Chains A and B, each alone.
Chain A
Amino acid sequence: MAAHVNILLVDDDPAENVILSALMRKVTSYAITLHYVETIDGALDFIRSSGIALDMILMDNRLQPQADFRETVPELRRAGYIGPVGVISSSISDAYFQKIDDYGVDFRIDKAELDPTAIEFLLREYVRREASAG
């Protein structure tokens, strides 16, 4: 049995949920359940009331009406979430991405770099529940 992990995707574009779900299905060493909400309020509700222990949150960098992760991720932390948070963005070269640690972000990754290998690496690095393979 592969280890089971719960990941929450926060992205205002539902297409990203479809794409990421397909990617997650290609990860063989973990059984991933991808939960999806469109807004930061949705994410806060999920954290407070879903009863599901999240192993990781993946956030789109820009979510309306907030500007970017500097406004959104601290809200997740204020809600008491202390698991890993990754910010997904098509462009991670802006200077403020150097400050992720100050805003409670664990890692940043470009949309184009998210493949099954990268997802597996992130889970190994941050979730560490032993994958059963091998």
Chain B
Amino acid sequence: MIALNEHFRRYDFESDLEKALNRVDFFRIFHTMALRYGFEHFGVLQLTNEHETSLLAQRLTLHDLPAGLAEAYDKRHRFNDSDLFKSFYVSTISTVWRDGDRAADQGSPHESFLDQIGFDMALSVPVHSVAGTRFVILFLGDGDDIGRTEHFEICYEAACAFDYFHRQVLANKAGMGLTPRETEILRWISYGKTASEIALIVSVSEHTVNSHTATILKKLDVVNRTQMVAKAIREQIIQ
């Protein structure tokens, strides 16, 4: 993890974030953040072009929603037509959506996301990566309204957690050097070994081998294992 400049002021979030290694660690961070502020669930949504059809399930890069909820939503509703989705393309201000607030908003031509998904409250925190790609951290729950101070705090925490999550997990790492473990796996791939065989040889899980392989693909900027090995030999990463 690239250390941030120590001279800037930041607030007591470093320990967990600096130590976060993988998607499970960021799941833990966002999940406990949601619970701490009275929500039940979180979702990290990636935004693209407003007019491109967006399935909720495909936009969620990390979430703790009950299994099948996003897919069930997509079968019944068009996420693009919801008030929540539309709002992301009007403003980047963090917003609280409450079931009870809607009476004042009856003139809205868009469908209520809260009605559609079945929660009483949502809080959105629009964020973006250093490369400019847009994301929204969404918190959902049925609890009491969130106060101003807590709203400010969760915005700050969510933005910080997202920053680490993006740099550690989501960022395109093209051009970055391979770690010794990645180089070792690359070498076994070049010998024609399968993921399960490499897992046995290197004493890790097959999941870990696949995850390292995906990172090597990103770092070498290639699309498959054949091109990966060819490029690694050309670049003299392996002999």
B19 at the interface (CB under 8 A from A): yes
Contact of A93 among B19, B27, B70, B207 (CB under 8 A): B19
The verdict on A109 contacting B205 (CB below 8 Å), with A93-B15, A101-B181, A131-B67 known, is no
Count, chain A residues at interface, CB 8 A: 37
> Other than the known A126-B207, A132-B68, what 16 A-B pairs have Cβ atoms closer than 8 Å?
A29-B67, A30-B67, A82-B196, A82-B200, A82-B204, A83-B206, A98-B21, A100-B21, A101-B204, A109-B24, A117-B64, A118-B28, A120-B66, A121-B31, A125-B24, A134-B75
Q: With A100-B21, A131-B68 known to touch, is A113 a contact of B200 (CB < 8 Å)?
A: no
CA distance A18 to B70 in the complex (A): 32
Q: Is B58 an interface residue (CB 8 A)?
A: no
Determine chain B's interface SS by DSSP, over half rule: helix
How many B residues are at the interface, by size bracket?
A: 20 to 34
Q: Is B203 an interface residue (CB 8 A)?
A: yes
- Which residues in window 65-103 of A have CB below 8 A to B? 74, 77-78, 80, 82-86, 93, 97-98, 100-102
Residue from B23, B32, B41 within 8 A of A113 (CB atoms) = B32
Whether the pair B68, A80 counts as a contact (CB closer than 8 A) is: no
In the complex, chain B residues 58-77 whose Cβ is within 8 Å of any chain A Cβ: 64, 66-72, 75
> In this complex, what residue of A is CB-closest to B63?
A121
| Known pairs A77-B203, A80-B200, A82-B205; A133 contacts B67 (CB<8 A) | yes
Q: Which residues of A contact B69 (CB under 8 A)?
A: 133-134
Instruction: Look across to chain A and name the residue whose beta carbon is closest to the beta carbon of B27.
Output: A121
Q: Chain A residues with Cβ under 8 A from B91's Cβ?
A: none
Which 8 residue pairs spanning A and B have beta carbons closest together? A134-B68, A133-B68, A29-B67, A77-B203, A107-B24, A82-B199, A131-B67, A134-B71
